[in-house]
């Protein structure tokens, strides 16, 4: 039996500091955490042993690597895929979002929608990923609730439905009112945390509320909640699942308010695995044949080993340890003897995985981001894009005899999606491309630490890159011949046009109307 209806595979999207880490910790606390692949911003000694590359994370206090966290609650298995929280994110983040069925958007009540939240939201929107909103930090002064709701609605062009309502904020915070369940969640103790004190009421008119809350607090709650229920669309499960409406929960991850409601909302409303876009046809999770795709490849934490873990999202079938799966593109089946199953609480359970689950597959670089794995070849999942890099740099070796090592390193990192690499037709300096500045530092530090290659990154005379193609091969060849100095190959030998500016892309694209210039390349 393949049970996937009880799977909720989701990610948290937020701007740095909104409280993603705190919320993650509380989610794991409330749900019985089964296995943590990479601790949540692990602190102290456990971290120190890791490679130099990880030092960047430590110094900056950020998490560059993603991880998978699984917890279980009332028969539902939640797979939380972590996305790097730094403003300067890589394609990794985008790709992780291709492996989830829904997302939780965390917003700081004082700051509203911030730049990174917005970028990540747009990626979710592209794939119609449904979003539950968690407005965090109501234990602190924040913006008025209506202002927050209207901002979400306006900036993101979404319908919003408040599901809970904070009674006051900051120093006047008195609790959270559950508009759907008619319950009041109350703070306790000197730290005014949520320790489980819930009072059921018959509705907003219930006189019990007058006893539990201050007079101005209850008056404002009644007035606001009435206005809100009249002014915002009622919750509509279908609109939510289509990505047109977001239910909004208020809370404080720090004080543990609203975390429980959030888990309940994920269990009740968030979609289980859905059919995944694929060639020749979308793959239903009910399909008995095992299929999945690799959305992330991570280098082993141990710099002395070149092992890689490929993270595969299972899309259909029941995966069993030892199973042979064939990666798209290379044909040879591989037996998966030692999968890392993140939901395995007890060893004996670690032998099976279901659609929506993530499997870590140790390998030596055979598996690459975007690969489909299936019992029988012929299926290929689509929609895992490479993005046009926004920063291009030439790589100059300090020691010219290390060319081979450099190529290996650049290929490896391209495979992980940390950077892209381009080999120009003319000239010997390879060009690397990244989506964010931080990846440059990661690259240099890993070159030294893992590959013992000293290199400098020099400005390249290019600003962006486009994958080129044409229906008529002759047209493509003409273009390439006439623009030799701007031509390069990517790691898979696809022709790439290196442009001096976005303006140049437009200019050239006008002149060569038969050539297609793509800012993303689907693998």
Angstrom distance (rounded) from CA 319 to CA 352: 5
**264 assigned to a ligand binding site:** no
- Nearer Cβ to ligand GDP (192/321): 192
Cα distances (angstroms) measured from residue 436 to each of 295, 404, 430: 19, 26, 18
**86 assigned to a ligand binding site:** yes
By three-state DSSP, how is residue 99 classified?
coil
Angstrom distance (rounded) from CA 135 to CA 190: 23
Angstrom distance (rounded) from CA 227 to CA 7: 36
- Among 137, 274, 521, 523, which residue sits at the site for ligand GDP (rule: CB under 6 A)? 137
- Nearer Cβ to ligand GDP (27/470): 27
Q: What are phi and psi of 204, to 5 degrees?
A: -65, -20
Contact between 164 and ligand GDP per CB under 6 A: no
Angstrom distance (rounded) from CA 364 to CA 408: 13
Dig out the tokens for 195 from the structure.
Answer: 């320790």
Stretch that binds ligand GDP, among 20-28, 51-59, 141-149, 175-183 (CB under 6 A): 20-28
- Among 14, 79, 116, 328, which residue sits at the site for ligand GDP (rule: CB under 6 A)? 14
Kindly give the pairing relationship between strand 245-250 and strand 159-162.
parallel
- Among 131, 253, 341, 453, which residue sits at the site for ligand GDP (rule: CB under 6 A)? 253
**Minimum distance from residue 511 beta carbon to ligand GDP (Å):** 46
**159 assigned to a ligand binding site:** no
CA 400 distance to own-chain centroid:
38
Dig out the tokens for 31 from the structure.
Answer: 């749900």
Stretch that binds ligand GDP, among 18-26, 375-383, 461-469, 476-484 (CB under 6 A): 18-26
Stretch that binds ligand GDP, among 16-24, 73-81, 91-99, 402-410 (CB under 6 A): 16-24
- Nearer Cβ to ligand GDP (85/389): 85
- Nearer Cβ to ligand GDP (16/356): 16
Contact between 17 and ligand GDP per CB under 6 A: yes
Tokens 């945390």 correspond to what residue? 193
Cα distances (angstroms) measured from residue 9 to each of 99, 293, 313, 314: 8, 14, 10, 11
Angstrom distance (rounded) from CA 336 to CA 222: 58
Binding mask 399-418 for ligand GDP (x = CB under 6 A): --------------------
- Nearer Cβ to ligand GDP (14/98): 14
Contact between 21 and ligand GDP per CB under 6 A: yes
Binders of ligand GDP in range 47-86 (CB under 6 A)? 85
Stretch that binds ligand GDP, among 247-255, 303-311, 322-330, 434-442 (CB under 6 A): 247-255
Dig out the tokens for 360 from the structure.
Answer: 């870590």
**Minimum distance from residue 353 beta carbon to ligand GDP (Å):** 28
**Minimum distance from residue 230 beta carbon to ligand GDP (Å):** 29
Q: Dihedral, CA atoms, 278, 281, 285, 291, nearest 10 degrees?
A: -50
Strand partners, 359: 312, 341
Contact between 261 and ligand GDP per CB under 6 A: no
Contact between 26 and ligand GDP per CB under 6 A: no
- Among 35, 111, 140, 407, which residue sits at the site for ligand GDP (rule: CB under 6 A)? 140
**101 assigned to a ligand binding site:** no
Stretch that binds ligand GDP, among 12-20, 74-82, 324-332, 386-394 (CB under 6 A): 12-20
* DSSP string over 287-330: -SS-EEEEEEEEE-SSTT---EEEEEEEEES-EETT-EEEETTT
The conformation of residue 283, written as its DSSP 8-state character, comes to B
Angstrom distance (rounded) from CA 279 to CA 374: 13
CA 363 distance to own-chain centroid:
23
Binders of ligand GDP in range 354-373 (CB under 6 A)? none
Q: Is 62 exposed, middle or buried (0-12, 13-18, 19+ CB in 10 A)?
A: middle
- Among 2, 252, 291, 419, which residue sits at the site for ligand GDP (rule: CB under 6 A)? 252
**Reduced 3-state DSSP string for 106-143:** EEECCCECCHHHHHHHHHHHHCCCCEEEEEECCCCCCC
- Nearer Cβ to ligand GDP (43/305): 43
By three-state DSSP, how is residue 231 classified?
helix
**Minimum distance from residue 376 beta carbon to ligand GDP (Å):** 42
Contact between 19 and ligand GDP per CB under 6 A: yes
- Among 180, 198, 254, 519, which residue sits at the site for ligand GDP (rule: CB under 6 A)? 254
Residues flagged as binding site for GTP: 14-21, 82-86, 136-139
Q: Which residues bind ligand GDP (CB under 6 A)?
A: 14, 16-22, 85, 136-137, 139-140, 252-254
């Amino acid at each position: 039996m393949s049970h996937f209806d009880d799977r909720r595979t989701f990610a948290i999207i937020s701007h740095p500091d909104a409280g993603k880490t705190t919320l993650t910790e509380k989610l794991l606390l409330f749900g019985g955490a089964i296995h943590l692949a990479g601790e949540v911003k692990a602190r102290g000694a456990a971290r120190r042993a890791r490679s130099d590359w990880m030092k960047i994370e430590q110094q900056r206090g950020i998490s560059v690597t993603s991880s998978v966290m699984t917890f279980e609650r009332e028969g539902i298995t939640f797979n939380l895929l972590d996305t790097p929280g730094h403003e300067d994110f890589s394609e990794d983040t985008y790709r992780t979002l291709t492996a989830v069925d829904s997302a939780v958007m965390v917003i700081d009540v004082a700051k509203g929608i911030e730049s990174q939240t917005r970028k990540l939201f747009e990626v979710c929107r592209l794939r119609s990923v449904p979003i539950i909103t968690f407005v965090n930090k109501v234990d602190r002064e924040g913006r008025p609730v209506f202002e927050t709701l209207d901002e979400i609605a306006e900036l993101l062009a979404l319908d919003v439905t408040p599901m809970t309502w904070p009674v006051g904020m900051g120093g006047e915070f008195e609790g959270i009112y559950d508009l759907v369940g008619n319950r009041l969640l109350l703070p306790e103790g000197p730290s005014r945390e949520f320790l489980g004190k819930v009072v059921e009421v018959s509705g907003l008119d219930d006189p019990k509320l007058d006893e539990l809350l201050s007079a101005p607090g209850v008056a404002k709650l009644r007035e606001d909640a009435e206005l809100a229920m009249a002014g915002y669309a009622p919750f509509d499960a279908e609109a939510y699942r289509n990505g047109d409406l977001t239910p909004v929960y208020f809370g404080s991850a720090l004080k543990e308010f609203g975390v429980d409601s959030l888990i309940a909302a994920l269990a009740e409303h968030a979609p289980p695995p859905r059919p995944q876009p694929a060639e020749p046809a979308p793959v239903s999770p009910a399909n008995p044949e095992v299929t999945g795709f690799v959305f992330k490849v991570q280098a082993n934490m141990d710099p002395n080993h070149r092992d890689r873990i490929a993270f595969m999202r299972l899309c259909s079938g029941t995966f069993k340890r030892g199973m042979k799966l064939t990666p798209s593109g290379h044909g040879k089946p591989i037996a998966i003897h030692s999968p890392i199953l993140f939901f395995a609480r007890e060893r004996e359970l670690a032998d099976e995985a279901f659609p929506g689950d993530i499997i870590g597959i140790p390998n030596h670089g055979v598996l690459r981001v975007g690969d489909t794995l299936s019992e029988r070849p012929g299926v290929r999942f689509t929609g895992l894009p490479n993005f046009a890099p926004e920063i291009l740099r030439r790589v100059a070796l300090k020691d010219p005899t290390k060319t081979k090592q450099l190529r290996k390193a650049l290929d490896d990192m391209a495979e992980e999606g940390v950077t892209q690499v381009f080999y120009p037709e003319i000239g010997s300096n390879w060009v690397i491309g990244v989506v964010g500045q931080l990846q440059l530092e990661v690259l240099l530090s890993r070159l030294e630490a893992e590959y013992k290659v000293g290199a400098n990154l020099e400005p390249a005379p290019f600003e962006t890159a486009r994958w080129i193609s044409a229906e008529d091969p002759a047209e493509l060849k003409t273009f390439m011949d006439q623009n030799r100095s701007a031509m390069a190959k990517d790691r898979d030998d696809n022709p790439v046009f290196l442009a001096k500016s976005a303006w140049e892309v437009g200019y050239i694209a006008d002149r060569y109307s038969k050539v297609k210039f793509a800012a993303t390349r689907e693998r």
